[in-house]
Structure 1
Amino acid sequence: MNQPRSLTRLDQAQLDAVIRRHEMFRNARMGGARATLSFCDLSGLNLAGRDLAHADLVGASLKGANLSDARLDCAAMFACDLRQANLENASLIKTDLRGACLRGAVLIGANLFEADLRDGSLAEKDRQGNLRTVQVDNQPTEASGADLSGANLTNARLSGAMAIHTDFTDAVMKGCKLVRATMRGANFSGSNLEGADLSGADMRGACLRGAILTGASMTMTDLTDADIEDTLTDAPVGRTLAEFDRPLEDLLRDHIIWVGTGGAQGASLDLAEFDLRHDAPSFAHGCLTMLRAPRATFYGLDMTSVQLQAAVLDGADMRVCKLHGADLRGISLKGAKLNNADLRNANLRPLVFDEKRSMRSELAGAKLRYVDFRGACLRGVSFAGADLSFANLIGCDMAKADFSHAKLFGAKLERKALEGVILDGVAGLKL
């Protein structure tokens, strides 16, 4: 039978004392002790930025608590009440959240890598040695109404979880286990469910617009009335390389000759609307200068240090692509999808032909959410109307860049980098 369990109320001063000792324990300092906060009432208290990794929080109430930027890796949070808690950017790597209630919680940008969110219930022995179920004031494994947009749920376990109307927008859910999960009306717009197991999941009325479902298992998944427009699956998108009568490697060699001879020899390569995810050679360190590939699919490809000067890739799908150190001077990526791409140290400054002629890089209207631009040269780039929400722009040269009417919600950047930058109508900029 279910037995209610009373909670021990702690005030902020008492909690701070426990956390200080825990942080000493974590740093192997004398006088430290692991935090044991099981069945404590911590509702409404402030734990922002604190280190509670490996702490015992089983059955605790953290309703409405501030856990933003907190470190909770490997913590025991079985059957925790986290309703309306703020877990924005918190680290919950391998955290045991079985039976936890996350209803209405904010987990924007949280890291739940390999976290366990399956259902579960607490039990303990009574004086006669009989097991009894412990009742806490929450519903097990419920994330209904929670905001997990942009969260990292890679390899997380949510089998049997209840997440009705939960927001998973742009969440990274690679290899996530969602077997028999109830996700009715949930928002998976732009989320990455590559290799996820959705077998038997109830996703009626869910929004999967623009989601990545490559390698996902969807046996007996109920998608009644779900919005699956523009989802990326294993099925080819547009044209396939089988249409060519010669291997793509040969065509690339001809293109390099064409570039090197100024068009006198070889032949230019046009990959418009081709799906390059399968059977394509490696583009890493390759020469694709002046390539035409509008609306092509490059999703997830390694294009490290590639040369794409003056290339036309308008509307291309380059999500999760590795473009670290790429030469993208004068490139056109209007309306392209580059969410979660790696563009660290990429060069997007204007391509200079002579003293009077140059070609700037065009990323107007591009989707650049969560892109890593650290150390990139963005001098003179047009980002007009682009969505750079949560992009990392630390250490970028952005002189004379045009961000007019762009979205910069949650973007990381430095105030000094905005000198000489066009910011007319920009939305969400906070410094």
Structure 2
Amino acid sequence: MAEQAGSPGGRRKLSQQAIAQTVKLHHDYRNGVMGGRRASFAFTDLTGMAFIGADLSDADFTGAVLNGANLGGCILDRAVLFGSDLRGANLIGASLVRADLRGALLQGANLTHANLFDADLRDGMIAERDRHGNIVAMKYDPGPVEMEGAQMKGANLSSAKMSGAMAHHTDFTDAIMVGCNLVRANLSNANLTNANLSGADLSGASLKGAALTNAVLTGATLTQTDMSGANTAGMLGDKPAGKPLDELGMPPEEALRQHGLWVTSGGAQGKLADFSGFDLRQIGSLYKALLVGVVANKAVFYGLNMEGALMQGAKLAGADLRNARLQGADLRGSNLAGARLAYADLRNADLGPLVITADRKFPSSLEGAHLRHADLRGAKLTQANLRGADLQQTRLDGAVTEGCDFTDAQGVPRGAPPEKTGG
């Protein structure tokens, strides 16, 4: 295909038809069809072109200009995007697992909910070597990855290599950045609200003026990290985020035993557990724990295993249950108003009403709860109060929502009206 005048850097300008043909041949190549060929868009001009939903795993986009291109929903796993220009590109929901994005330009790109697990976003350069293996010249040196103003909301950047990345003013709201290498990265004024940076290496990184509201930095390396002017309200690190367990007045195991006695004896023995405001992360596990009626308002349960726990009538208003494993838990009649449940696993959990007598029923309250990215598949939510709850990206496949009150809720699932229904 002939080069066209005006193409950036003299790159070949490809037509949409030529792109479609290349994508087809790549599909044949990946499926072992005779005549198939791996897609190579290296050093081509693909400005504004559409690749929506295409499977381009292992394709070569080295140095390509994809300015404003539509790659929404594409599969670009292990693709080579070295030094590519993706400014303003649409990569919403794209899969870029282990993709090579070294030296890429991502300013203004939209990578909302994209999967960049183990992707390489470090500095990039291609060197020419002589016959003895010595570097004699830099053939292509695009420099550090630049993603100023990019949208990374809800993106998965776990284990991604981002050392030296220029990511100031970038939006990482709700991003999963577990184990991410951010050594010497520039994240000044970035929005990291609710981001999970557990185990990330931020050595020498700049977080000046960044929004770290409710971000998780447990196990993160912060050697010489500049956090001056950053908003760290609600940030969760390795230090207790609330009252430490040694202020309970007894070992937590004893408090749980006493509560179990209180439940099984109908209050005649033992003692009601009140964990309000405590950081319970050091408990380790609450698997199938007997926590009926427990009081734990604003307590921190982050990441705890609470599968199958019996928590009917529990008072959990404002509690931090992010990443908690609550699969199959019995939460009938519980108060979770304002609770943080982002990424919590609530599959098959029971959040229906607690029935005392025929005329005494206590619906569960999730009013104003933050359920973004939570998994509620198969959960029972009959008559639950979800007024003002944040349900964006929440999984509700197969959930029972009869009689739920979704007034003013965000991200209401299909088939569930934003108002109280009969039940």
Q: TM-score, normalised by structure 1?
A: 0.91
For 1:124 and 1:281, locate their aligned partners in 2 and report how far apart those are by CA, in whole Å: 53
User: Residue 249 in 1 paired to residue 253 in 2?
Assistant: yes
Asked whether the equivalents of residues 127 and 135 of structure 2 are also in contact (C-alpha less than 8 Å), the reply is: no
Of 322, 329, 332 in structure 2, the residue corresponding to residue 326 of structure 1 is 329
For 1:356 and 1:130, locate their aligned partners in 2 and report how far apart those are by CA, in whole Å: 82
Q: CA deviation at 1:130?
A: 8.0
Of 138, 146, 155 in structure 2, the residue corresponding to residue 133 of structure 1 is 138
Of 161, 164, 171 in structure 2, the residue corresponding to residue 160 of structure 1 is 164
Asked whether the equivalents of residues 405 and 423 of structure 1 are also in contact (C-alpha less than 8 Å), the reply is: no
For 1:341 and 1:324, locate their aligned partners in 2 and report how far apart those are by CA, in whole Å: 9
Asked whether the equivalents of residues 117 and 157 of structure 1 are also in contact (C-alpha less than 8 Å), the reply is: yes
For 2:11 and 2:308, locate their aligned partners in 1 and report how far apart those are by CA, in whole Å: 57
For 1:308 and 1:42, locate their aligned partners in 2 and report how far apart those are by CA, in whole Å: 55
User: Residue 100 in 1 paired to residue 97 in 2?
Assistant: no
In structure 1, the residue matched to 2:297 is: 294
Q: CA deviation at 1:41?
A: 1.3
Q: CA deviation at 1:124?
A: 4.6
For 1:31 and 1:333, locate their aligned partners in 2 and report how far apart those are by CA, in whole Å: 58
Q: CA deviation at 1:121?
A: 2.3
**Counterpart residue identity of residue 92, structure 2:** E
User: Residue 273 in 1 paired to residue 270 in 2?
Assistant: no
User: Residue 357 in 1 paired to residue 354 in 2?
Assistant: no
Of 401, 419, 423 in structure 2, the residue corresponding to residue 422 of structure 1 is 419
Of 395, 399, 402 in structure 1, the residue corresponding to residue 402 of structure 2 is 399
For 1:231 and 1:39, locate their aligned partners in 2 and report how far apart those are by CA, in whole Å: 43
In structure 2, the residue matched to 1:427 is: none
For 1:71 and 1:362, locate their aligned partners in 2 and report how far apart those are by CA, in whole Å: 39
**Counterpart residue identity of residue 343, structure 1:** L
User: Residue 240 in 1 paired to residue 244 in 2?
Assistant: yes
For 2:221 and 2:238, locate their aligned partners in 1 and report how far apart those are by CA, in whole Å: 11
Of 390, 406, 412 in structure 2, the residue corresponding to residue 387 of structure 1 is 390
Q: CA deviation at 1:377?
A: 1.2
How many residue pairs match? The answer is 412
User: Residue 197 in 1 paired to residue 201 in 2?
Assistant: yes
Of 14, 38, 41 in structure 2, the residue corresponding to residue 37 of structure 1 is 41
In structure 1, the residue matched to 2:372 is: 369
Task: Tell me which moved more, 100-109 or 261-270.
Answer: 261-270
Task: Tell me which moved more, 31-40 or 296-305.
Answer: 31-40
Asked whether the equivalents of residues 95 and 116 of structure 2 are also in contact (C-alpha less than 8 Å), the reply is: yes
Q: CA deviation at 1:132?
A: 4.0
**Counterpart residue identity of residue 320, structure 1:** N
CA offset digits 1:378-407 (Å, max 9, x no partner): 111111111111211222111111111111
For 2:128 and 2:39, locate their aligned partners in 1 and report how far apart those are by CA, in whole Å: 21
Q: What are the residue-to-residue correspondences of 1:56-135 with 2, within 5 Å?
A: 56-124=60-128, 131-134=136-139
For 1:275 and 1:164, locate their aligned partners in 2 and report how far apart those are by CA, in whole Å: 32
Q: What are the residue-to-residue correspondences of 1:220-231 with 2, within 5 Å?
A: 220-231=224-235
Asked whether the equivalents of residues 284 and 304 of structure 2 are also in contact (C-alpha less than 8 Å), the reply is: no
Q: CA deviation at 1:135?
A: 5.5
For 2:347 and 2:29, locate their aligned partners in 1 and report how far apart those are by CA, in whole Å: 36
Match of 1:121, SS state, is strand
Q: CA deviation at 1:346?
A: 1.1
**Counterpart residue identity of residue 349, structure 2:** A
**Counterpart residue identity of residue 91, structure 1:** S
For 1:241 and 1:385, locate their aligned partners in 2 and report how far apart those are by CA, in whole Å: 32
**Counterpart residue identity of residue 263, structure 1:** G
Q: CA deviation at 1:246?
A: 3.2
User: Residue 259 in 1 paired to residue 256 in 2?
Assistant: no
Q: TM-score, normalised by structure 2?
A: 0.93
For 1:46 and 1:200, locate their aligned partners in 2 and report how far apart those are by CA, in whole Å: 39
For 1:130 and 1:240, locate their aligned partners in 2 and report how far apart those are by CA, in whole Å: 56
**Counterpart residue identity of residue 200, structure 1:** G
Q: CA deviation at 1:131?
A: 4.6
In structure 1, the residue matched to 2:4 is: none
In structure 2, the residue matched to 1:428 is: none
For 1:414 and 1:394, locate their aligned partners in 2 and report how far apart those are by CA, in whole Å: 10
Match of 2:345, SS state, is coil
CA separation of 1:269/1:116 partners in 2, compared to 1, >3 Å: closer, same or farther? Answer: same
Task: Tell me which moved more, 29-38 or 395-404.
Answer: 29-38
CA offset digits 1:261-301 (Å, max 9, x no partner): 211222211111111111x1521111111110001110111
Asked whether the equivalents of residues 125 and 143 of structure 2 are also in contact (C-alpha less than 8 Å), the reply is: no
**Counterpart residue identity of residue 91, structure 2:** L
**Counterpart residue identity of residue 120, structure 2:** D
Asked whether the equivalents of residues 79 and 140 of structure 1 are also in contact (C-alpha less than 8 Å), the reply is: no
User: Which runs of 5 or more structure 1 residues have no equivalent in the other structure?
Assistant: 425-431
CA offset digits 1:185-232 (Å, max 9, x no partner): 111111111111111112211111111111111111111211112111
Asked whether the equivalents of residues 249 and 281 of structure 1 are also in contact (C-alpha less than 8 Å), the reply is: no
Q: CA deviation at 1:67?
A: 0.7
Task: Tell me which moved more, 216-225 or 308-317.
Answer: 216-225
CA offset digits 1:326-373 (Å, max 9, x no partner): 111111011111111111111111111121111100011111111111
In structure 1, the residue matched to 2:5 is: none
Asked whether the equivalents of residues 5 and 135 of structure 1 are also in contact (C-alpha less than 8 Å), the reply is: no
Asked whether the equivalents of residues 68 and 88 of structure 1 are also in contact (C-alpha less than 8 Å), the reply is: yes
Asked whether the equivalents of residues 123 and 143 of structure 2 are also in contact (C-alpha less than 8 Å), the reply is: no
Q: CA deviation at 1:375?
A: 1.4
CA offset digits 1:234-284 (Å, max 9, x no partner): 111221221234332222122122112211222211111111111x15211
